[in-house]
Chains A and B, each alone.
Chain A
């Protein structure tokens, strides 16, 4: 029995990790077409990636969208958590449910509803539309992680600040923030990563000339197949995520990274 369980566990790790590993290794191949193991190693596909204006543009745009949307989500999510973290009652549960809903709400429906909404109000620039969508999707990660940080703060500290006549703003800046910033950072980092790889709303909201890297990879795979430049594009994303996870491990600890997934 124990043997079967361990075999299944091994199989689970293989099927989760192998596809990513193969893509990353392929990105370094020297040949024109896909072959595994690659015949010879080179960086030519990374050069091709940065030489392609559409790929480079999509990459930079993805970074911009992820940066802006995760920052806005962190600010809004922290505000929401501060307001409702310790409150009880049906109404507050509903409000919190609303903030967390995008976690499980089918994102494809959110994407379509935003697309039609933007059209109904006379059009929104593609870039802004994507930032808003990714902000809605990133918000629950911030709310979840900041709320759990806030619940760990001893209310006596806040009261002590108030009894010393500190203004709510001073209490927030000097007492609360230092205690909850790991939660804010973890939520923000996760919102950033989510935006970098997001597909379901971006499918609807990207337009001609304004795509994100995952959508660019998708259309390459659909229409131009075989080009190893997408392996390089994918590898770059994987390396970025590894770098972010390593930095996050330093800043907020492994436990928070694993939990926010």
Chain B
């Protein structure tokens, strides 16, 4: 009877796990391995990729100064957006966190709901505001402050600012979760030891909120890497980041190069994720590091 029941449970377990596991295996893991395989080949004019195994795509990315420029620019963009989001996001989370639960929830809803709106629409909103015929230019012109339109789009700054506004809610939500998990007694203890608010923040609140800061910055950086549409719409045709090169290679049917560039992008994601975790050590809060 006992073994019959456990047999039954075992079957149920596999019946439940097999379909989703197969699905993710076939449509996530296998395509990635396949992508890596493709990246190890040369280009071919008739097939997806050439027949010889080669590291030339990676060699090119590592040695060509054009790629270095783009990778550095990508890192710089990711870093600026991360820092902008961190400052604004922390301030916002710090203000919202102590509010009564119902108010806090509604305040959060106004930040989370925009995440559900497609990024293409949110970027379009910035075009409507900052474009040649946009709100800012027409307002300035009607007041007579300027004669010709200011060029506010198609720049690195436009991309960094626009993406910051698109990704900011992720940072706020991550930090608020961490702030709300902090035991009030720690803060009261610091205050009873006569620490001023600034010291309390630096030595108690900030370290204890590091898991939220880590997950927020990580998420913002990773989403920056993929944001092709926002980068193209706000940065214009010349403001290219790594993801734009992946897309350009695909448009030119250079599949192996596109595949290798994707792995360069993944490597960048891994390195930065490692740095963020090493710097902020979120594990120490959960007692794991």
Contacts and interface: CB of A to CB of B under 8 A. Distances in A.
Q: Do A and B bind each other?
A: yes
Interface of A: 1, 4-6, 8-9, 11-13, 15-23, 26, 33-36, 76-77, 79-80, 82-84, 95, 98-99, 101-102, 104-110, 112-117, 119-120, 132-133, 135-136, 139, 162, 168, 193-194, 196-200, 203-204, 213-214, 217-218, 221-222, 226, 230-231, 234, 237-238, 241-242, 244-245, 254-255, 257-258, 261
B140 interface: no
Contacts of A221: 120, 123-124, 127, 233
Given A18-B129, A98-B24, 16 more contacts: A12-B111, A12-B168, A35-B133, A79-B20, A80-B20, A83-B13, A106-B266, A108-B247, A113-B35, A116-B38, A117-B30, A168-B12, A197-B117, A200-B226, A222-B233, A237-B121
B32 interface: yes
A9 B91 contact: yes
Contacts of A203: 228-229, 247
16 contacts: A12-B92, A13-B111, A15-B164, A18-B125, A20-B117, A79-B16, A82-B16, A106-B266, A107-B226, A108-B246, A117-B34, A117-B35, A136-B24, A200-B228, A244-B116, A254-B105
A221 B232 CA distance: 10
B212 interface: no
B121 A23 contact: yes
Given A5-B95, A237-B121, A261-B115, A112 B169 contact: no
Given A106-B269, A261-B169, A79 B17 contact: yes
Nearest to A95: B21
Given A9-B95, A19-B165, A108-B226, A26 B118 contact: no
Nearest to A120: B34
Given A12-B92, A34-B128, A106-B225, A99 B30 contact: no
A200 B32 CA distance: 16
A258 B109 contact: yes
Contacts of A77: 20
A179 B250 CA distance: 46
Contacts of B265: 106, 108-109
A108 B262 contact: yes
A19 B91 contact: no
A9 B96 contact: yes
Contacts of A102: 28
A199 B113 CA distance: 17
A20 B169 CA distance: 14
Contacts of B30: 117
Instruction: Tell me whether chain B's interface is mostly helix, strand or loop, or mixed.
Output: helix
B246 A214 contact: no
| CB-based closest 6 A-B pairs | A19-B125, A197-B118, A261-B112, A117-B31, A8-B91, A83-B17
Interface of B: 5, 8-9, 12-13, 16-17, 19-21, 23-24, 27-32, 34-35, 38, 48, 87-89, 91-92, 94-96, 105-106, 108-129, 131, 133-135, 138, 164-165, 168-169, 172-173, 197, 218-219, 222, 225-226, 228-229, 232-233, 243, 246-247, 250, 255, 258-259, 262, 265-266, 269
B97 to A, nearest CB: 11
A106 to B, nearest CB: 4
Contacts of A34: 128, 131, 133-134
A258 B112 contact: yes
Contact of A230 (B124, B168, B229): B124
B31 A114 contact: yes
B88 A19 contact: no
A112 B109 contact: no
B225 to A, nearest CB: 5
Contacts of B94: 5
Nearest to B229: A199
Given A108-B243, A258-B112, A23 B91 contact: no
A241 B113 contact: yes
A124 B185 CA distance: 58
Contacts of B165: 15-16, 19
Nearest to B89: A12
A203 B8 CA distance: 45
A19 B138 contact: no
Nearest to A79: B16
B91 A120 contact: no
B233 to A, nearest CB: 6
Nearest to B111: A16
Contacts of B128: 19, 22-23, 26, 34, 36, 231
Contacts of A26: 128
